[in-house]
Chains A and B, each alone.
Chain A
Amino acid sequence: MYAQMIRTASTGVKPREEMTPEERRFQDRIDAGEKIEPKDWMPDDYRATLIRQIGQHAHSEVVGQLPEGNWITRAPTLERKAILLAKVQDEAGHGLYLYSAAETLGVSRDELIELLHEGRMKYSSIFNYPTLNWADIGAVGWLVDGAAIVNQVALQRTSYGPYSRAMIRICKEESFHARQGYSIMMAMAFGTPEQKRMAQDAVDRLWYPALMMFGPPDKDSVHTAQSMAWKIKVATNDELRQKFVNQTIPQMEYLGLKCPDPDLKWNEEKQGYDFTEPDWDEFFDVIKGNGPCNVDRMNDRVKAWEKGAWVRDALLAHARKKAAPAAAE
């Protein structure tokens, strides 16, 4: 999802009899549904896993501004432009909430940003795909933010208090994002034949990358078990992916657009759709850095960070000067 393939130190769940008394007490609190707060004792790997997951989630929010920011100046109307601008601003805020949540675990935001820029932390694979035209902006809002909502609604119940609170805040704002995307899709799908063709083309290209957002299939997700036991994750990748497909297909049908999956079929027994898995080789390749936009995205982030350095330094120098006791004249 916005955090895909988060590593834990082990590949299984630690059995209760191997736990220290502290670990046992911790697990009991988790099992009782208590939230863990910053100053509470927690296992080192719980902390490290959260830093990786929340950090990756934060990076995704910020890098996610790039494919959409790309279209702010080219939105078709002033209203669409104002709306898209507001959405992209929201994403910066979401990044802030998440970096703040990560900081409660003892890592600083600048450290996380440095790790991202050095390629030692990841962001969601979805943002390594290009937004080629205005229909893509509609499809991103509808499908990508739609997928993000499915994941983030579940994460509101995550065991770490600050992460959970950030998710609650983000979910409130996120449904605006999905709706503005769907509204663009409606305008295009019900517009001229050429607009409808563009809308279909955007869905064709973004459908499978959107499904990849939930991460690899459960059978290949070796780190899911411990994260689930700690309630860092509260639903598996496959569960969330299924939920997303179930809720999205009727929306697609309403638009009169076709899902690019020829084998998509309603399964009465499981009360859900059967669908084709994305190409996981492509997914792993994009994660490794070989997606269409990986290099551009990182270059843009690093450039923004480096070019902003003088502003950060100047404001800090000014603040220190003001705070210093007035020098003798």
Chain B
Amino acid sequence: MKDEWPLWEVFIRGQHGMSHRHVGSLHAPDAETAIRNARDVYTRRNEGVSIWVVQAAHIAASSPGEKGPLFEPSNSKVYRHPTFFDIPEDAGAM
């Protein structure tokens, strides 16, 4: 408890060119060990081709209290979606 290894968050990129995705966490003394341990735990079944690790303490996160101010403004902006616009069939594929 006194000297616990820091917590790291693990991100993996799968086979098909997608973005790295958060898969879980682990404790490790340093980045090198974190990557090695992430390999051992999170890519046991060909889940990935690339690993990112970042110390959990270095992640800044929005707080649940900010949910309204942060995300509500986009609720009213339906024109940001392509389906907002009616394009006549005669115009062809778009």
Contact = CB atoms under 8 A, between A and B. Distances in A.
Interface of A: 37, 39-41, 86, 89-90, 92-93, 96-97, 100, 103, 108-111, 114, 166, 169, 173, 312-313, 315-316, 318-319, 322-323
Contacts of A37: 64
Interface stretch (B11-19, B23-31, B71-79, B84-92): B23-31
A323 B30 contact: yes
Contacts of B54: none
Contacts of B1: 108, 110-111, 114
- Tell me the interface secondary structure of chain A in the complex: helix
B46 interface: no
A313 B25 contact: no
A39 B29 contact: no
A322 B30 contact: yes
Interface in B48-71: 61, 63-64
B61 A39 contact: yes
A323 B41 CA distance: 25
Contacts, number: 53
B4 A97 contact: no
B44 interface: yes
Given A100-B24, A315-B33, 11 more contacts: A92-B41, A93-B44, A96-B26, A97-B24, A100-B25, A109-B4, A111-B1, A169-B24, A312-B5, A315-B29, A319-B33
A40 B65 CA distance: 8
Interface range on chain B: under 10, 10 to 19, 20 to 34, or 35 or more? 20 to 34
Contacts of B64: 37, 39-41
B69 to A, nearest CB: 16
10 contacts: A37-B64, A39-B64, A96-B24, A96-B26, A108-B4, A110-B1, A169-B23, A169-B24, A312-B5, A315-B29
Contact of A110 (B4, B23, B44): B4
Contacts of A318: 29-30
Among B1, B7, B29, B44, chain A packs the most CB atoms within 10 A around the CB of: B29
B18 to A, nearest CB: 18
The 7 A-B pairs of least Cβ separation, nearest first, read A319-B30, A319-B29, A315-B29, A110-B1, A100-B25, A316-B29, A93-B41
A59 B71 CA distance: 39
Nearest to A103: B7
A109 B27 contact: yes
Nearest to A109: B27
Nearest to B26: A96
A39 B26 contact: no
A94 to B, nearest CB: 10
B22 to A, nearest CB: 10
Nearest to A36: B64
Contacts of B40: 89
Contacts of B26: 96, 100
Among A41, A111, A312, chain B packs the most CB atoms within 10 A around the CB of: A312
Among B5, B23, B33, chain A packs the most CB atoms within 10 A around the CB of: B5
A92 B27 CA distance: 13
Contacts of B63: 39
A316 B3 CA distance: 8
A140 B61 CA distance: 42
A90 B27 CA distance: 17
A223 to B, nearest CB: 27
A259 B81 CA distance: 59
B31 to A, nearest CB: 9
A323 B30 CA distance: 9
B43 to A, nearest CB: 11
B93 to A, nearest CB: 38
B7 A316 contact: no
Contacts of A100: 7, 24-26
Contacts of B23: 169
A311 to B, nearest CB: 10
